[in-house]
Structures are given as C-alpha cells and as structure tokens.
Structure 1
Amino acid sequence: MRALIQRVTHAAVEVDGREIGGIGPGLLVLVCAMQGDDEAAAAKLAARVAKLRIFKDDADKMNRSVLDIAGEALVVSQFTLAADTRTGNRPGFSAAAPPEDGRRLYECFARDLSAQGVPVQTGEFGGDMKVSLLNDGPVTIWMDSADRA
C-alpha cells in the first residue's frame, strides 16, 4: 500500500457540499491499495503511520508521533497514488488494486490505524471528494509498505 502523509493543523473532506470528515491537528493520510496488497500490508502501513515521528518536540525537533501529540487522522482513498507517468502524458493506473480490493484494504487501513489508538475520520471510497487542509510545516511524507521488510 502507498500513503502520502501530511502533517496538518486541520483537514476536512466534503462530498456533495457536505463535510463528511474533519480533524484538528494531526495527519491527512491519502491511501492507495496496490495490486497484490493484502491485510498484512494495511496493518503494517497503519502501524508505521501511527508511530511516524514528524511532530515537533520541546527542542523543535521532529521527535513526536501523532499518538504522542494526541492528534487525529483523516484517511482518504486516493487511487491516483498508483499513477505510472513513465510514458506519455496521460498517467496509467493499472498498478492500483481493483476497486473491491481497494475498498476493503482502505477500510482495513483505517480500522488498523484506529486500533493503534489514533482517532480516525474517513472520506468516501470512490466518491467525488473535495479535500481541504492546512499543511503544517509544510511536512509531507511518502510511504510504501513494500519499501520495508
């Protein structure tokens, strides 16, 4: 699975002009299930996100996790993280998991992150969402469950 993680002051997601999820300080996590991903990949990525130390400590160093600051997470499905832009001008998305697997693994990731102790809000899988955020820093981190044993 892939995730683009942004440290935020606040973030929200709307569908049809109605806010369906919103958080204060914490993480906006855009998530994409890839071909061949499974529940173990979702759990592994959720654990890494929960423990990712990208919040400042008293010495102004990035040493605190979302758990350490009692922050929240807004988890939004984002199949375009699977974009292949190596050829042509139109990205391809064939590396993304099929929609039924993508939905299952997105929901699994959100549950696993919540089980780590992070309060989680979500977007709407496959929905036409409008995401707003105030990136703090800015701090934006890319993670892929396949990058680490």
Structure 2
Amino acid sequence: MITIIQRVTQAQVCIAGQQVGTIDSGIMALVAIERQDSEKSAQRLFERIINYRIFPDDPGRMNLNLQSIQGGLLLVPQFTLAADTNSGNRPSFTPAATPEKGEVLFNYFVSYAKQNYPLIETGEFGADMQVSLTNDGPVTFTLKV
C-alpha cells in the first residue's frame, strides 16, 4: 500500500457537488492498493499514518502525531499512486490491485481505521471526486508498506 499524507488545516471531498467527507486540522491521505497488499498491509499503514510525527510541538519541531493533536483523518482512495511511471509517456497500472480487490481492501482499511480512531472521514472508491485542501507547511510525505 502507498499513501501520500499531507498535514492540513482543512480538507474535503465532494462527489457530484455533494460534500462526502471533511476535516479541519489533521491529515489528508491519498491511498493506493497494490496487487500484493493484504489486510495486514492495511493495518500496518493505518498504524504508520496515525503515529507519524508531523505536527509541531511547542518549540515548533515535528514531534506530535495525529492522536496527540486529536486531528481528523481524511482517507481518499487514489489508485493512480500505484502506477509504474518508469518508462514511456503513459503510466502503467500493472502494479495496482484489481478494482475488485482494491475496493474490498480500501473498505477494510476504512473499517479498521474507524474501529481504532474516532475522527475518520473518507472519499468513495471508484467515484469521480473533487478533493480540496489547505496544506499546512506545506508538509507532505509518502509512506509505503
């Protein structure tokens, strides 16, 4: 699994003009499922996101995690992160999980996240989504499990 996490002051996802997920201060995570991923991968990725120290403490150092600041977590499925872009002028999606597997595993990831953290919002797998955010910093990281 691959994710790009961004520290945000706000983020939202809309589908067909309707807001389906929104957070204030926290993390917006774009999430891709690859062919070899499993429920164990999903659990490990969630633990990394929730514990990754990207929020400033009093001296301004990145020493606090999402739980420390009680921030929101917006999970957005984005299969294009799994693309192979090493050659040519068009991405190959061979590394990405099939849409069926991707949907099952993304839904498991969301369910696991909601069981373990109260401030979860999501996009919708397979939907045409409009994502907006205010990146705080900017602070952006790629995590892979």
Within 2, Cα distance between the matches of 1:132 and 1:24? 12
CA RMSD of aligned residues (A): 0.9
> 1:117 maps to what in 2?
117
1:18 CA displacement = 0.8
Distance 1:118 1:9 in 2: 18
Gaps of 5+ in 2: none
Q: TM-score, normalised by structure 1?
A: 0.94
> How many pairs are equivalent?
145
**In the alignment, what sits opposite 1:51?**
51
Match of 1:14 in 2: 14
Q: CA deviation at 1:81?
A: 0.3
Q: Distance in 1 between matches of 2:143 and 2:134?
A: 20
> Which secondary structure state, in structure 2, belongs to the residue aligned with residue 63 of structure 1?
strand
The CA distance in 1 between the partners of 2:135 and 2:54, in whole Å, is 12
Distance (whole Å) between structure 2 residues aligned to residue 115 and residue 2 of structure 1: 21
Q: TM-score, normalised by structure 2?
A: 0.97
1:49-75 CA distances to partner (integer Å, 9 max, x unpaired)?
110000000110000011000001110
> Which amino acid in structure 1 is aligned with residue 83 of structure 2?
A
Unaligned runs of 5+ in 1: none
Q: Percent identity?
A: 46
